[in-house]
Amino acid sequence: MEGMNVRLISGRTAVQGQNLDSKLTEKYFGEVARCDMNGNDMEKLGVAKEDTVKVTTAYGAVIVKAKQDDGNPEGMVFIPMGPWCNAVISGDTHGAGMPSFKGVDATVEKTAEAVLPVKELMRTYMG
Amino acid sequence: MADELLIRNGVVYDPINGVKGEKKDICIRDGKVVDSVTNPKVIDAEGRVVMPGGVDIHSHIAGGKVNAGRIMRPEDERKGVEPKTKVCRAQSGYSVPNTFATGYRYARMGYTFVMEAAMPPLAARHTHEEMVDIPILDNAAMPLIDNNWMTMEYVKSGDTDLLAAYIAWMMKATKGYAVKVVNPGGTEAWGWGKNCNLNDTVPYFDVTPAEIIKGLAEANEKFEMPHSIHVHGNMLGHPGNYEMTKDTYDVVKGIKPYRDRPTMHATHTQFHSYGGTTWGNFESKADAIADYINENDHMSIDLGSVILGDTTTMTADGPMEYSLYQITGRKWTNHDVELETGTGITPFLYSGKVSVHTIQWAIGQELALLVKDPWKVALTTDHPNAGPFIGYPIIISHLMSKKRRDESAEAMHKAIFDRAALPSIDREYDLNEIAIITRGMTAKTLGLHEHGKGHLGVGADADVAIYDMSPEERDAGKIQKAFLNTKYTIKGGQIVVKDGEVVATPPGRTIFVTPECDDKLTDEMLVTLKDKFAKYYSVTFNNYPVQDAYLPNPYEIKAPWRSS
Amino acid sequence: MVEVTDVVCSLCGCVCDDIVLEVENNEIVKVKKGACSVGKAKLLGHERIKSPAIRENGELRECSYDEAIKKAAEILYKSRRSLLYGWSSTVCEAHKVGVELTEDLGAVMDNTASVCHGPSVLAINDVGLPSCTLGEVKNRADLIIYWGANPAQAHANHMKRYSYVSKGYWTEEGKKGKKMVVVDVRKTMTAKMADVFVQIKQGKDYQVFSALRAILRGHEDVVPDEVGGVPKEQLLEVANMVKESKFVMTFFGMGVTHTGARHNNIVNAIQFTRAAHLHTKASIMPLRGHYNVAGINQVCTWETGFPFAIDMSRGYAWYNPGEQSATDLLYRGDCDAAMIIASDPGAHFPGESLKHLAKIPVIQIDPYANPTTEFADVVIPAAVSGIEAEGNVYRMDNVPIRLRKILDTDYLPDEEILQRILTEIRAMREKEGE
């Protein structure tokens, strides 16, 4: 199906915090390269847990794994703060010093593409 | 080779040693004043005024509230910027200068010791971290011990010895110098948004501020403490507070100090000498306060004299700052500290066009001029509350010149002529009296004269200020200029300022007092204190005391328990 | 086996200081008491950077400390405008050397507040901050508000030690005698614990603060039926809880700083607190992330006059966040070298800003490899502050606490690494006869 228009936010999680100093591990990868969505939104997109989704903003696109969290209202998705979320965040602070890490207009769609491991993700910024 | 210096032919004002403007040589070896030198570097001070390094008895220069003031006021930081030099670090700030600027600017005025006026015990490490970063100046800090739950409980139960044991422990834990009192009871009440008068009962603690002050004064005198309790009383800054101020002084009357010094130092007295009942009929009562000081010998005061212009007010008196912020509607920071004290900060503009500010401006100077004995008075602006320390030379020039005062008064609000006494006072300070209120009295009142500060007798620290003025100078403008930037400032025998420029930045020492208390008493007190830590503090007992690492250049003064 | 008590956690801004460890053979074998899951993970250790290294032909080559420090000094010395960024996970003793280095180089110094509570600092610049220490909250607060914050995940001991669940002098019943309001855009783990959960529309924090301010200042009539997705009845309910409380404490997180009006949100949060203070005792505090992000703000302020985003190229401190903030500098490509210490912009900066970081020489000083390591040309491993090195830190309420050294190490502490880089740079300058 077509991509769904959503608002993207990010934030800390406990497991993300536990692996702040071990960001190159599988545990961090599993926790942070994911996207929490309301179950209804997942249904609309036809994605199940562990399926990959592509999140696209005006500033880039990133592949993450879908995870259900009904604490999220419909139309909003949450990616834990970290490299994957930041792949689609603007560097422009509009003179305020703070990028817009939350409340970014995005589209989410189901994809067959795989999630990039962190080192490969970093490499996309090079050259 | 010994490091020797000879200051030749200066006109020396050394009031502690009774030297009143005598042409005299000062000999220095290895950082101390000595009788004679053999092969010295010579400074020609012919015809210039020479004084011991200045000793500031009360100034907010380091710690949590000063830094909160800086964070809140980038506009103030932008005022005082000066680029780094080969010798100096970069400078910022006017009323709340960065630590480097604080050291340089004081040294350029000839000061070599500054007492940080209020150290919240829980944040003592912060005060020390900043003091280490203030170059040149020797320093010390007074921990707040009056709104502390431990203090109030011992005052209530009447256990003065246990209160003394608590003071001893806190002084050691904070590496502090003297007992500081700020709005006793009132700051605790501020934890609930309330405040206290001198004889109100502190909510939940069933003691009065008067009882707290008396208890602390008695406990303080259990030791050979170099300084008395240092008191910022209740209802600072309120119209009509002068009666309460006198009542506060009465509280400690009759308590015998351990040595020849006052039983209480009342700080920034300008803010406590107000008549009237509202801001509308606000008037000076400096005369009533001066009369009290003249008639009694158990008190010393400092001025808290106003410098016109914008400044940043800051104090542990949280409710006072809240009242001030309610008046101005400007920025306001508050920081209450668990079980101990508080903090309030708000910017303030003293304007010579406003009647109240004009009268405040007059009161500080009136106190200096109406108190007959300068040994009872210290020059302060309660930096930065009544104005930044950089304004001291302005006050000096006013105290020394009736003409200057009259000129200033003419340009200010006319209220100064009918609600203040300053225009009718003819007295002019001489340089000896200026030396007393900026070094002699302050060193003696703090007990630092016994540790080499505030005088130039043999054995004293070789801290010397040489001002580029003749003792006959009467031009107020020239006096002000001379006191702003010395010809030379010498700190511990080293030239740190030459021709108004900082030329060396040795680190200062931190002076602290260790009251000695017997173990049995301490152990009994610790049972109660450890219970407070277990239940109410947010840090552990073992992580609380300031570690030695925070005082790289310590100087300890022991205060033995008095046997009788 | 030795038991070590009063250990201070060097992970988040809570800086818990009552941790008990078991240490055996210079290794922490057990966290017996005090730490949350996040702190525990740090105390038990992660894989370390093994050796200093220099990147050659795209690969990191291991080298000595001397060589790496010399290379780092060369990069900074040659740079015309370097960015010295990070600082929040190290001690104040290192910060001081950092400021001196910044001054010496005429560089820009910024810290992680820039992408965290920088807007809170800007708001404090504007209006001040009515606040208190965490012990005040523990002893007095009967109403706790968490706004745009999820302490149950991010500051796991916060409620237990300092706020909703803790017991103190006037709060001996713990949470039984308290109320908790959580304001968030999603129902977080923290929100599930709240007495009242106010679910607002994303980006509407400013409006909701305004509505509460209006009600508290007696202008209920101007508030429409719904504000930012919150029904007026619920706003009145919260305002009423504030009015009836004896001591209300608001903690806010990046849900407020990262969103919409940014620092203006925080100005309004503080104005809400001022309005609440007309009725009760009201305080407010940012939930600081790293254990010493408050400390780097403190040190920078007393040494330069300003808390973050400091440009020393003029010889004195120039403060203009939004121009000199690290993300802005990188986004504009306005620095030609970077030293990253005790932080990880690779993980936490927008991708758009990382493109420039990938281009310029980068020095990394850190105990652990992380995404930033991928960009680093010089990697200098450091001792872990709070485990292998001691020093001063400032808790989120600016209470200073000294980290303890628990284990011995051959890794150099940050302070020493920085001091050696500075000494090298000064030697280079002297050699060149400046």
- Going from the N-terminus, what domains does chain A have, and what CATH number goes with each? 4-123 (2.40.40.20)
Instruction: Name the pairing type of β-strands C247-252 and C143-147.
Output: parallel
Q: How far is C342 from chain A (nearest CA, A)?
A: 10
Which residue in chain B is spatially nearest to C18 when comparing CA positions? B540
Confidence of residue C433 (pLDDT cuts 50, 70, 90): confident
Instruction: Name the pairing type of β-strands C400-403 and C391-394.
Output: antiparallel
- Number of H-type helices and E-type strands within chain B: 19, 24
Tokens of B192: 């609930």
In a mutational test of the C interface, the residue from B71, B119, B331, B348 whose CB has the highest number of chain C CBs within 10 Å is: B71
Instruction: Name the pairing type of β-strands B309-315 and B344-350.
Output: antiparallel
Radius of gyration of chain B (CA): 22
**DSSP H or E stretch at residue C373:** none
Mean pLDDT of B10-37: 98
Q: Do C328 and A76 touch (CB under 8 A)?
A: no
d(CA C60, CA C376): 9
Q: Do A93 and C328 touch (CB under 8 A)?
A: yes
Token pair 């490091």 in the structure block, residue: B3
Average pLDDT for chain C: 97
CATH assignment of B54-451? Answer: 3.20.20.140
Which of C135, C312, C314 lies at the smallest CB-CB distance from B538?
C135
d(CA C402, CA B369): 47
pLDDT of B77 over the 90 cut: yes
Q: CB distance from A119 to chain C under 8 Å?
A: yes
**Residue pairs spanning B and C at CB distance below 8 A:** 184
* Fold of the C118-286 domain: Dimethylsulfoxide Reductase; domain 2 (3.40.228)
Mean pLDDT of B486-505: 98
**DSSP H or E stretch at residue C300:** helix C293-304
Q: Do B82 and C298 touch (CB under 8 A)?
A: no
Which residue in chain A is spatially nearest to C322 when comparing CA positions? A97
Query: What are the CB-based long-range contacts (under 8 Å, 24+) for B407-413?
Result: B408/B352, B409/B362, B411/B352, B412/B352, B412/B353, B412/B358, B412/B361, B413/B352, B413/B353, B413/B354, B413/B355, B413/B357, B413/B358
Residue ranges of domains in chain C: 2-42, 48-116+291-432, 118-286
Q: What is the pLDDT of residues B483-494, one digit of tens each?
A: 999 999 999 999
* C147 neighbors C289 (Cβ within 8 angstroms): no
Mean pLDDT of C146-157: 97
d(CA C326, CA B179): 44
d(CA C28, CA A25): 21
Between helices B242-251 and B209-220, what is the axis angle to 10°? Answer: 40
d(CA C297, CA C316): 17
Q: In degrees to the nearest 10, what's the CA dihedral of C405, C410, C414, C418?
A: 140
d(CA B225, CA B170): 14
Q: Do A125 and C260 touch (CB under 8 A)?
A: no
* Chains in contact with C via at least 3 Cβ–Cβ pairs below 8 Å: A, B
- Fold identical between C48-116+291-432 and C118-286? no
pLDDT at A127: 73
d(CA C277, CA B325): 12
Quick one: DSSP state of residue C343?
Answer: S
Q: Where are the alpha helices (DSSP H) in C45-186?
A: 65-78, 92-105, 118-127, 134-140, 151-154, 158-161
Token pair 């809880």 in the structure block, residue: C241
* Fold of the C48-116+291-432 domain: Rossmann fold (3.40.50)
d(CA B560, CA B558): 6
Distances (CA, A) of C107 to B86, C110, C135, C342, C380: 17, 10, 38, 18, 20
Confidence of residue B412 (pLDDT cuts 50, 70, 90): very high
Mean pLDDT of B39-62: 98
Which of C47, C114, C259 lies at the smallest CB-CB distance from A22?
C47
* A92 neighbors A64 (Cβ within 8 angstroms): no
Identify which of B294, B459, B480, B259 has the alpha carbon closest to the alpha carbon of residue B373: B294
pLDDT at C434: 58
Q: How far is CA C90 from the centre of its chain?
A: 11
Residues 52-71 of A with CB under 8 A from C: 59-60, 69-71
pLDDT of B19 over the 90 cut: yes
Identify which of C100, C299, C305 has the alpha carbon closest to the alpha carbon of residue B98: C305
d(CA B269, CA B247): 14
Neighbours of B528 (CB within 10 A): 16
Which residues does chain B have within 8 Å of residue C398's beta carbon, measured at their own beta carbons?
Answer: 64, 68, 123, 126, 335
Which amino acid, residue C71?
K
* Chains in contact with B via at least 3 Cβ–Cβ pairs below 8 Å: C
Which of C42, C255, C353 lies at the smallest CB-CB distance from A21?
C42
Q: How far is CA C375 from the centre of its chain?
A: 23
d(CA B410, CA B394): 16
pLDDT at B564: 59
DSSP A10-51: EE--HHHHHTTT-TTSHHHHHHHSEEEE-HHHHHHHT--TT-
d(CA A50, CA A47): 8
pLDDT of B563 over the 90 cut: no
Token pair 């006869």 in the structure block, residue: C433
CB contact set of C376 (below 8 Å; sequence gap of 6+): C55, C60, C340, C362, C363, C364
In a mutational test of the A interface, the residue from C122, C370, C385 whose CB has the highest number of chain A CBs within 10 Å is: C370
CB contact set of B147 (below 8 Å; sequence gap of 6+): B182, B183, B184, B185, B186, B187, B188, B316, B340, B341, B342
Radius of gyration of chain A (CA): 14
Average pLDDT for chain B: 97
Tokens of B460: 């004293």
Which residue in chain A is spatially nearest to C229 when comparing CA positions? A73
Distances (CA, A) of B255 to B230, B248, B476: 15, 13, 42
Distances (CA, A) of A29 to A26, A38, B280, C357: 5, 21, 68, 22
pLDDT of B82 over the 80 cut: yes
**DSSP H or E stretch at residue C256:** helix C254-257
Q: Residue C157 — left, alpha, or beta (φ > 0 → left; ψ -120 to 50 → alpha)?
A: alpha
* Secondary structure, 3-state, B179-206: CEEECCCHHHHHCCCCCCCCCCCCCCCC
Answer yes or no: pTM beyond 0.90: yes
Quick one: DSSP state of residue B96?
Answer: S
Q: What is the pLDDT of residues C190-209, one digit of tens each?
A: 999 999 999 999 999 999 99
* C191 neighbors C154 (Cβ within 8 angstroms): no
Q: Do B92 and C305 touch (CB under 8 A)?
A: yes
pLDDT at B2: 66
Mean pLDDT of B92-106: 98
Q: What is the pLDDT of residues C288-339, one digit of tens each?
A: 999 999 999 999 999 999 999 999 999 999 999 999 999 999 999 999 999 9
Q: How far is C135 from chain B (nearest CA, A)?
A: 5
* C75 neighbors C424 (Cβ within 8 angstroms): no
Residue ranges of domains in chain B: 54-451
Quick one: DSSP state of residue A2?
Answer: P
d(CA C206, CA C308): 24
pLDDT of A74 over the 90 cut: yes
Which amino acid, residue B330?
R
Between helices B242-251 and B286-295, what is the axis angle to 10°? Answer: 20
